[in-house]
Amino acid sequence: MAPLIVLFAVTGVTRFVGWLGFTAWLDSWPHTVRLGLAAMFALTASAHFLPPRRDALIAMVPPRLPTPARFVTLTGVLESAGAIGLLIPIFAPAAAICLAVLMVVMFPANVRAAHSGEGLHTMPLPLRTLVQILFIGACVLAAF
């Protein structure tokens, strides 16, 4: 739930600042969503490196994949790189699309965790699915 709160809070605050006229760049939903997503992915990436969440993420990796810890590290690095990319205007559209693809690729781990009882359990799978769709939609919006 924390990533969703961060996405909404940062997007909302920055959009409000844009609406107030402090900077024209923030008077744009795609730009403010980029900032919200960057903050959200910085938060979620940290879980890939810091216990106890890292251990729970490793448990979510499907057993058919070798070296689950490496996958968790790799996805954390990709989320970090994507968060940085969202902050660099020339790279932001590509970063947003790559993050959307990453979320699609990683979603089976959430399904596995929901069915097996292993890993992180922040919300029931139907709600998690809706939140994932919202995150992917935010990435698509941020690509413009």
- The tens digit of pLDDT for each residue in 49-75 reads 998 999 999 988 888 889 999 999 999
Whole-number average pLDDT of the chain: 93
Alpha helices in the chain (DSSP H): 2-20, 29-47, 53-60, 68-86, 92-116, 125-142
pLDDT beyond 90 at 34: yes
pLDDT confidence of residue 141: 97
* Owning domain of residue 95: 2-142
Confidence tier at 109 by pLDDT (50, 70, 90): confident
Query: Of residues 50 and 115, which shows the higher confidence score?
Result: 50
pLDDT confidence of residue 82: 98
Total domains, the chain: 1
